[in-house]
């Protein structure tokens, strides 16, 4: 200015503008780089969410399929349970019918009473019996066989029993009587009940004949492997 020349601002303006442009370019590059990185991350998240949604959808389909199978199995189980209940009721009715058929009527029982058999073992107990040394030697085993559903002794059967034991009464007096009541072919509960009553009937008959008392006569109820007519075996033992 002092020499009459004007100042040239253009170089300074160009430098300033260049710096601004470079700064803007740098900021733009950083922004674009950040945008690319963010876009990649967002893309990965979108893919992960899509995979997760697909997996959940497949799990939902599997769960629904399993639920349908369980419902079907439940329906089948309920149907099988109902069939089992119906079968159980049918079997109960059949069992009741069989029980009614197995219990003889009064007329049949009276006819069966006459078929009570009294037998004496032909082989008396040996003097050197080793299986049960307390059994009285020289005595036989008296077997009373009862038909199905019968536990009483008729007067005829009592007379036969007295006749069978009469010859040994002197030897048997004072001995303990062991009654082995074998269950018959009836149902288990009925056979056990009849075996008990048969034992009582024979015990009372022995008491009436003077061959024991309630304390000297024991009753054992047993079930034989060969199921047939019920029977009572009488054995005499030393005290």
pLDDT tens track, the chain, 239 positions: 455 566 777 888 888 889 999 999 999 999 999 999 999 999 899 999 999 999 999 899 999 999 999 999 999 999 999 988 888 888 888 777 665 555 555 555 555 556 566 665 544 434 444 444 445 445 568 888 888 878 888 888 888 888 877 777 777 777 888 888 888 877 888 888 888 988 888 888 888 888 777 788 888 888 876 667 788 888 887 76
Phi, psi of 117 (to 5 degrees): -110, 140
Phi, psi of 28 (to 5 degrees): -65, -40
The 10s digit of each residue's pLDDT in 91-129 is 888 777 665 555 555 555 555 556 566 665 544 434 444
Across 10-168, the runs of DSSP E, i.e. the strands, are 117-120, 142-146
- Predicted local confidence at residue 30, as pLDDT: 94
Give the tokens for residue 89. 């009721």
Burial group, residue 195, by CB count within 10 angstroms (0-12, 13-18, 19+): buried
- Predicted local confidence at residue 116, as pLDDT: 65
- Predicted local confidence at residue 154, as pLDDT: 82
What is the reported pTM? 0.49
Across the chain, the runs of DSSP E, i.e. the strands, are 117-120, 142-146, 176-182, 217-222, 230-237
- Predicted local confidence at residue 95, as pLDDT: 75
């Amino acid at each position: 200015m002092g020499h009459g020349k004007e100042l040239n601002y253009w170089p300074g303006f160009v430098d300033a503008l260049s710096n601004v442009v470079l700064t803007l370019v740098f900021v733009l590059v950083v922004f674009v780089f950040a945008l690319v990185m963010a876009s990649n991350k967002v893309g990965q998240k979108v893919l992960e969410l899509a995979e997760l949604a697909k997996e959940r959808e497949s799990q939902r389909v599997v769960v629904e399929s399993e639920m349908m199978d369980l419902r079907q199995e439940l329906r089948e189980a309920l149907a099988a349970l109902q069939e089992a209940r119906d079968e159980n009721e049918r079997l109960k009715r059949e069992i009741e019918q069989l029980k009614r058929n197995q219990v003889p009527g009064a007329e049949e029982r009276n006819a069966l009473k006459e078929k009570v058999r009294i037998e004496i073992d032909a082989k008396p107990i040996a003097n050197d019996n080793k299986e049960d040394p307390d059994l009285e030697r020289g005595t036989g085993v008296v077997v009373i066989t009862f038909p199905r559903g019968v536990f009483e002794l008729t007067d005829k059967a009592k007379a036969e029993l007295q006749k069978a034991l009469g010859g040994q009464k002197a030897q048997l007096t004072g001995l303990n009587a062991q009654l082995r009541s074998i269950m018959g072919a009836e149902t288990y509960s009925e056979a056990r009940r009849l075996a008990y009553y048969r034992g009582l009937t024979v015990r009372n008959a022995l008491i009436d004949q003077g061959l024991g008392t309630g304390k000297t006569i024991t009753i054992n109820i047993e079930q034989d492997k060969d199921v047939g007519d019920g029977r009572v075996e009488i054995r005499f033992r030393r005290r």
